Amino acid sequence: MKILGLFIVTALAEIIGCYLPWLWLKQDRSAWLLVPAALSLAAFAWLLTLHPQAAGRVYAAYGGVYISVALMWLWAVDAVRPTATDWIGVGLCLTGMAVIMLGARPA
């Protein structure tokens, strides 16, 4: 559960770090949004270092959680309800993540 929570916080840091520049570029918001965006992306990079597995494995498994959190962001922030195929895709991604993380063996 601790690692899953860390993955979720990591995903939120990445999404926020990318969403704020998107607001600036696509919705003509203040360029000052780039400051918290940069901080959020720096936090994202730092959070990735806290995972106990090898970096490549963490990045691969993180992808499944990122997709899940991005879908929740779509629903909560963009007010777009995910479709059945969105949920199926998330299920497949999380299954893949579980195979990667639970099948990991020490080097």
Q: What is the pLDDT of residues 36-94, one digit of tens each?
A: 999 999 999 999 888 777 777 778 778 888 999 999 999 999 999 999 999 999 999 98
Backbone angles phi, psi at 21, to 5 degrees: -65, -35
Q: Record the pTM.
A: 0.80
User: How far, in Å, CA of 24 to CA of 14, rounded?
Assistant: 16
Contact yes or no for 68/94 (Cβ under 8 A): yes
CA angle, 52 then 57 then 59, to 5°: 95
State the pLDDT at residue 98: 84
Which of 57, 71, 67 has the alpha carbon at shortest distance from 94?
67
Confidence of residue 106 (pLDDT cuts 50, 70, 90): low
